[in-house]
């Protein structure tokens, strides 16, 4: 095999390698590629010593032509002295018989920054260079990411809106306060011939469970409460969780105080059954307030809710674990408090 020698003009070299540096036997720059000449200081490269215009970053200690020639074919990192913050990558080739060296450089990963800072153009890159494709990809990627972010933002807002409109309590699956408002409004608008009952269930000692056994135990208790309230009511009744440990029940077609008392007592008894949580017993009870639409000459949402709230308060103050009815007098006035009609025993 014989070595072939190729004679290339500076113009040809520029077309093939627009960022090359041709170094003569004494270490001075014979020719710099046309794109390199567009960089700061590049127009004055030719005729100067290589190590006056650039510094080696990797390997670091290359300061002479001899050291440079030892790097034959190795990957190098350099910076131009006029642009010390922009790293260029490249390769060194030692020319035969001590005639110098050849350096071909590229912007590597900094291509976008370089193009922007030095206002480079498609023509500044060799046709075989992937730099333009890389710039294309960077932009395509940015455009697609922007679209993706915009869609994600919209979906996030939609999710928030959906949650805002949701009618279900996520922990227990019961109706939430928003659902309660809607149900009560429609019941008040059309109470039916027998009217309806409203029961406000406020858990007793729930905070103690949370504080001593932790929130997971609290959640287990709440799930059990939801189960009890569902099973102690009929299919057409509505059970809502309206606060951390507050529940409201709507009992349709019901104007029977005795029946409602029985339901309340059964609920209290079942809620007092200890709940097992990881081998420990969680115990709660409940204070209940009750009202019925039949007590009112003109049932109104706000009035019924504030009455039933006061009745619950009376149960709490009466020693908890009991239920209190709103009186007919209270239902049609603004002054008196409901009377106690039950005294559930409590172990607490």
Q: Contact positions toward another protein, by CB under 8 A?
A: 112-117, 119-123, 132-133, 135-137, 139-144, 147-148, 151, 154
How far apart are alpha carbons 322 and 289 in whole angstroms? 9
Quote the strand ranges of the chain, DSSP E: 20-23, 29-32, 54-58, 75-80, 83-94, 101-106, 196-204, 238-243, 246-252, 275-277, 280-282, 285-292, 323-325, 339-340
Backbone angles phi, psi at 188, to 5 degrees: -65, -35
Residues whose CB is less than 8 angstroms from the CB of residue 23 and which lie 6 or more positions away in sequence, other chains included: 29, 30, 50, 65, 68, 100, 101, 102, 103
How far apart are alpha carbons 31 and 23 in whole angstroms? 7
Selecting among 121, 245, 253, 302, the annotated active-site residue is: 245
How far apart are alpha carbons 187 and 242 in whole angstroms? 17
Considering the complex, what minimum distance in angstroms separates the CB of residue 153 from another protein? Answer: 11
Question: How many beta carbons lie within 10 A of that of residue 223, not counting itself?
Answer: 14
Considering the complex, what minimum distance in angstroms separates the CB of residue 45 from another protein? Answer: 23
Considering the complex, what minimum distance in angstroms separates the CB of residue 244 from another protein? Answer: 36
Closest C-alpha to 52, from 82, 25, 93, 86: 82
237 is catalytic: no
Considering the complex, what minimum distance in angstroms separates the CB of residue 131 from another protein? Answer: 9
- Cβ atoms of 168 and 154 within 8 Å: the answer is no
Active site residues: 245
């Amino acid at each position: 095999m014989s070595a072939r020698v190729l004679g290339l003009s500076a113009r040809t070299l520029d077309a093939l390698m627009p960022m090359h540096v041709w170094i003569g036997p004494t270490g001075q720059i014979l020719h710099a590629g046309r794109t390199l000449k567009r960089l700061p200081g590049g127009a004055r490269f030719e005729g100067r010593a290589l190590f006056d215009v650039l510094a080696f970053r990797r390997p670091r200690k290359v300061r002479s032509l001899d050291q440079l020639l030892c790097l034959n074919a190795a990957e190098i990192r350099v910076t131009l002295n006029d642009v010390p913050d922009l790293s260029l990558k490249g390769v060194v080739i030692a020319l035969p018989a001590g005639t110098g060296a050849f350096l071909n450089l590229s912007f590597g990963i900094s291509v976008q920054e370089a193009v922007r800072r030095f206002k480079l153009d498609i023509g500044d890159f060799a046709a075989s260079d992937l730099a333009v494709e890389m710039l294309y990809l960077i932009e395509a990627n940015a455009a697609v990411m922007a679209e993706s972010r915009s869609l994600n933002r919209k979906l996030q807002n939609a999710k928030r809106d959906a949650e805002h409109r949701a009618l279900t309590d996520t922990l227990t699956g019961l109706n939430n306060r928003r659902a309660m408002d809607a149900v009560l409004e429609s019941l008040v608008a059309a109470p039916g011939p027998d009217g309806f009952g409203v029961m406000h269930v406020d858990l007793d000692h729930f905070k103690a469970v949370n504080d001593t056994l932790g929130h997971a135990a609290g959640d287990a208790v709440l799930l059990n409460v939801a189960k009890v309230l569902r099973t102690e009511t009929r299919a057409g009744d509505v059970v809502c969780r309206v606060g951390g440990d507050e529940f409201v029940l709507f009992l349709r077609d019901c104007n029977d105080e005795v029946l409602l008392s029985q339901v309340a007592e059964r609920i209290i008894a079942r809620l007092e059954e200890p709940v097992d949580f990881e081998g420990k017993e969680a115990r709660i009870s409940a204070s209940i307030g009750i009202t019925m639409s039949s007590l009112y000459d003109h049932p109104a949402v706000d009035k019924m809710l504030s009455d039933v709230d006061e009745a619950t308060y009376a149960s709490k103050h009466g020693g908890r674990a009991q239920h209190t009815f709103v009186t007919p007098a209270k239902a049609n006035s603004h002054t008196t408090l409901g009377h106690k009609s039950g005294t559930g025993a409590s172990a607490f």
